[in-house]
Amino acid sequence: MRVFLQRLLIGLWAALLAATPVRARGQCGTVTDISLPVDVAQFTLAQDYGVPSPRHQGRYHTGEDYYGGRNASYLQPVRAAADGRVTYSAPWGWGRDGGVVIIEHTFPDGSIAYSQYGHMEEIPERPFPARYACVKAGDIIGSVGNARPAPHLHFEIRTNQPDIPGPGYTWDFPDALGWKRPTPFVVNWNAWLHPAHRWHVELDDEWLLPPVELADHSLVYLEANRLRRITPDGRVLWRASLDKIAVGLFAYGDAAAVVYDDGVMQAFGMDGAPGQGWATGLPLAAQLLTGELLVFRSADGALVAFGDDRTAAAWRLDGVPLVTGAFAAPNVLAFLTDDRRMLSVSPAGRLLDTAALAEPGSFAAAPDGALLAYTVGGLWRVDGAGIWALEREDAPPGGVGSGVLAAEGGLLYLFSGGETPTLRAYDRSGQSRWQADLPHVSGAVKLEMLNEALLLVSGGGDVLALNPANGAICNALRVYSGANVWHSLGADGMLRAAIGAQILALDWAAFAGACG
């Protein structure tokens, strides 16, 4: 009887342990690095997250499927995305569709997420990790199995179901059920783990209007027809819901003002309370430029500019095609249209010139107030009369993915994208000083000299600090990409940047310190 009772107690204790939540069993460390679980030089994304599948009655895919090519995927190693604890490990976790491993990850901010690896196979030289085992980032946890319709890895990130294999597909969109897009999650957390990172705010969607930076370095921004203010250290201070469609945002007094599509402008106070509102009488569609001139595209296809008082139109230019980009130099404004033309407009609203472009380019202000246009046809100067002149005969082609900066001291920096992205520097006399290959930079590029370091920010999510003397990379990180890029270096030393669907802050001295 005593032996029976002892065995019964041992069994009950074992059952109690099995029922104990995994999170209560001790930690396997905090994530310090994170990456995708397969070699992206070999594997490509075959089915994206959130895609409805005809094979599964239109249900949404809860992960990303990675395929390494015909006869090149099967039994390739699968690695743990980050440090963590195994919460599920079964060679037949998905039955005929292969094995599943789930790993719990604890991040520096205290948040917890789970990575799931599906359609795997266990072989003697690559066994699955044991349940509750600690794994390190990059540890091999299995191999790509022979799943339908071809060998591939199903990779998930989620905040639910810590020890149950996910269904792979859901009737509701997976975001609402606790799943996250794996690649943005991995890419962004790599940036947020950078030593210079101080804070970040995730947005529901990619931003369309630049934030307004207030005197205390807090930011006011628009998101999903809500106005928000975040503190200098990245906390959401208040939210104000808007009852009309907002198409513009600009600094006004101590805070900001919103522009609605009916042409009404509405001031908001530092506390988010609505203040004075006024009607312009002009239905507006999209804000194009912010500054001394606030320029919009109107609902009837015109460019409309408002001066400092923001109460009445300073000028109007009719018959303008859809504008896809704009830039303001002191002496000339540039507007890119969807039919690949560039309109040169004077600050007084006079159309100076219309030029056909092979593709969009990048722009900068020249020291004398002219516009520098870096296009496929080279680097051009557009003066206050709208006259184009070739600025450099030896400049490589610009266009999409290019960048240009005319810095103090007559220095010129040109970034050319394409197959071999390269940054070039020229001195006052026009002589080449250096060139640096930057093969991983993608998207439209913005360049700025900040405290004796060269900042490069791209629509591909790249943030680089470079040594202006030789082009050496002093520091770099990448966030998930977005078409729109905004940045500002505050007097508090924080570089605030809005890229894609996030706003983040970097300690600029820590980030660019290696530049000297």
Residue 45 included in any domain: yes
Counted domains in the chain: 1
The range of the structural domain enclosing residue 24 comes to 20-182
Joined tokens for residue 380: 């051009």
Average pLDDT over residues 129-134: 98
Q: What span, in angstroms and rounded, lies between the C-alpha atoms of 491 and 15?
A: 59
pLDDT band at 338 (very low <50, low <70, confident <90, very high): very high
User: Which tops the pLDDT comparison, 302 or 7?
Assistant: 302
Q: 377 Cβ partners below 8 Å, 6+ apart?
A: 358, 397
Q: Is the pLDDT of residue 41 over 50?
A: yes
Average pLDDT over residues 163-177: 95
Report the 10 Å Cβ neighbour count for 47.
14
Q: What is the pLDDT of residues 175-231, one digit of tens each?
A: 999 999 999 999 999 999 999 999 999 998 888 899 999 999 999 999 888 999 999
Q: Is the pLDDT of residue 270 over 90?
A: yes
Q: Is the pLDDT of residue 17 over 90?
A: no
- Give the three-state DSSP class for 238: strand
DSSP state of 396: P
Residue 36 included in any domain: yes
Report the 10 Å Cβ neighbour count for 454.
24
pLDDT band at 385 (very low <50, low <70, confident <90, very high): very high
Q: What is the CATH number of the domain that holds 160?
A: 2.70.70.10
Compute the chain's Rg from CA coordinates: 27
Q: What is the pLDDT of residues 403-420, one digit of tens each?
A: 999 998 899 999 998 889
Instruction: Please give the order of strands across the beta sheet that includes 264-268.
Output: 246-252, 255-260, 264-268, 274-279
Q: Is the pLDDT of residue 352 over 60?
A: yes
* CA distances from residue 272 to 100, 240, 275, 311, 419 in whole angstroms, order as listed: 48, 6, 9, 21, 47
Residue 249 included in any domain: no
Average pLDDT over residues 339-365: 95
Q: What is the pLDDT of residue 430?
A: 87
Q: What is the pLDDT of residue 25?
A: 43
What share of the chain has pLDDT > 90, as a percent? 83
Residue 85 included in any domain: yes
10 Å CB burial of residue 125 (0-12, 13-18, 19+) is exposed
Instruction: Please give the order of strands across the beta sheet that includes 473-478.
Output: 445-450, 453-458, 462-466, 473-478
Q: Is the pLDDT of residue 22 over 60?
A: no
pLDDT band at 155 (very low <50, low <70, confident <90, very high): very high
Joined tokens for residue 421: 């992205």
* CA distances from residue 160 to 31, 99, 177 in whole angstroms, order as listed: 18, 19, 8
pLDDT band at 314 (very low <50, low <70, confident <90, very high): very high
